[in-house]
Structure 1
Amino acid sequence: MNHEQVHVHNSYQLAFDGLANPFIVQSSVFFQIPGLKMSNQPNADLIPTAEENQALLDTWGIIAKDLKGYGSKFFIHFFKQYPHYQLQFKAFAKVPLEELPENRRFKAHALTLMSALNGFIENLDDVEMLDELLLKMGENHAKRKLTREDFVRVQDSLQEFIALELGTLYTAPVKTGWKKILAVMTDRIGEGIDNFNSYSD
């Protein structure tokens, strides 16, 4: 696959061509993410190395250049794995998979998900804001009766999708970097779900 290279400075500043909001992620802050008051004790195995950190940011630069396109492709990938989830979206529940890329409501939802993920990554340098965003996502989806297990499926499917899309660029540091950050994000979203359910009891 031919992808434009994303230039990464020593300070981990990403200059995404075509994006309106370049952002800076300092490695010292990124390493604090597993301490985001995880529901379990912070796991040292979830702390990315500097190489994994840079690999994750490099590959997100590729995806971030086409959030709408990658979002649509991911949801089709996810629905192929778990067809019953498509039925939860009334606007396109019965639309054949091959027609989904042309469905306006489907494309809007796919872009919403990828924009949220982009927002999470843009806030890696603001741990408190990132924590609030993840908890809020969990609470919002708890209202739709989604569970931790649902988001674990999304996490695993997204990891697989990234591997398929990156091809030879999906190196060992890329794999472990994404695995760690997605695990932490999923945990905090799950905490938001648990919080909402406890309020509702």
Structure 2
Amino acid sequence: MGGVFSYLLSWVAPGPVYDATPDPITGLSERDCHAILDTWALVSDRKSIKQNGVEFFIALFKAHPYLLAFFPAFKGLSDEEMRRSPGLRAHATSVMYGIKSYVGTVDDAETLAGLVTKTATSHVPRGVTVKDVENLAVVFLDFMKDALGSQWTPEAASAWKQLFAVHCVLYKKVQSELKPPELINGK
């Protein structure tokens, strides 16, 4: 009986209505946060997060082969060899869990900023620039679009773009604090 009642009620009462007002710091609205959370849930379950991370990195290396310079152990490997590489699986899983931590804090600007700062502080000294992160973001959005198909909506795409825009602004701030300007502009 409860199932019938829920079905009938869904015709009368629409789904949740989220506030579209953007956060003054992140630019993400409540609607954006839910779009990010909902789409992330589709690619990040415990069984698929590792494989999705590996496939994302393979796509990243295909789109931007120069990034393999940061990963000498993977240079020259075929896609199949990368899929079997414990090192790539470990790093890809770590990155996916890093993204998961961003997703979990999309409605908490201070914590999100702290997480991005922590990531930037560990990556900038390795030579990873904001441009590299921007390239990663484009590939990630394409990866999500391919992985989700019709479940990837314009609203989700816009929300994820904003999340990465915030990430890049914060990353650039750390980059400018840790590296001389000539090194930043030289890459």
| Larger displacement relative to structure 2 (130-139 or 106-115) | 130-139
Q: Which runs of 5+ in 1 are unaligned?
A: 1-8, 13-26, 37-46
Tell me, what secondary structure is at the counterpart of 2:74?
coil
**Which of the two has greater helix per residue?**
2
Aligned to 1:73: 55
**Structure 1 residue 168 displacement after superposition:** 0.8
Length, aligned pairs only: 166
1:57 and 2:37 equivalent? Answer: yes
> For the Cα contact (< 8 Å) 1:136–1:192, is it kept in 2?
no
Deviation at 1:88, TM superposition (A): 2.2
Counterpart of 2:70 in 1: which secondary structure? coil
- Consecutive unaligned residues of structure 2, counting only runs of 5 or more, are 1-14
1:41-52 alignment, distance < 5 Å: 47-52=27-32
1:158-199 Cα shifts (integer Å, max 9, x gaps): 11111111111111111111111111112212222222115x
Do the aligned partners of residues 120 and 141 (structure 1) sit closer, same or farther apart at CA in structure 2, a change above 3 Å counting? Answer: same
Contact 2:83–2:89 under 8 Å retained in 1: yes
Does the 8 A contact of 1:74 with 1:161 survive in 2?
yes
The structure that has the greater radius of gyration is: 2
Q: Hey, what's the Cα distance between the residues in 2 that align with 1:167 and 1:118?
A: 20
Select which of 161, 164, 179 maps to 1:197: 179
Instruction: Give the whole-Å Cα distance in 2 for the aligned partners of 1:71 and 1:161.
Output: 10
Larger displacement relative to structure 2 (47-56 or 175-184)? 47-56
Q: Is 1:126 matched with 2:108?
A: yes
TM-score (norm 2): 0.78
- Displacement, 1:11? 9.9
Q: Does residue 35 of structure 1 match 2:15?
A: no
CA distance in 2, matches of 1:172, 1:183: 16
2:95 pairs, out of 113, 133, 138, with 113
Matched AA of 1:63:
V
For residues 106 and 112 of structure 1, the distance between their equivalents in structure 2, rounded to whole angstroms, comes to 10
Cα shift at 1:90: 2.1
TM-score (norm 1): 0.73
After superposition, the C-alpha distances for 1:126-184 in whole angstroms (9 at most, x for unaligned) are 32222111012112111111211111101111111111111111111111111111111
The Cα of 1:50 is off from its aligned counterpart by: 4.2
Mean Cα deviation higher: 48-57 or 133-142:
48-57
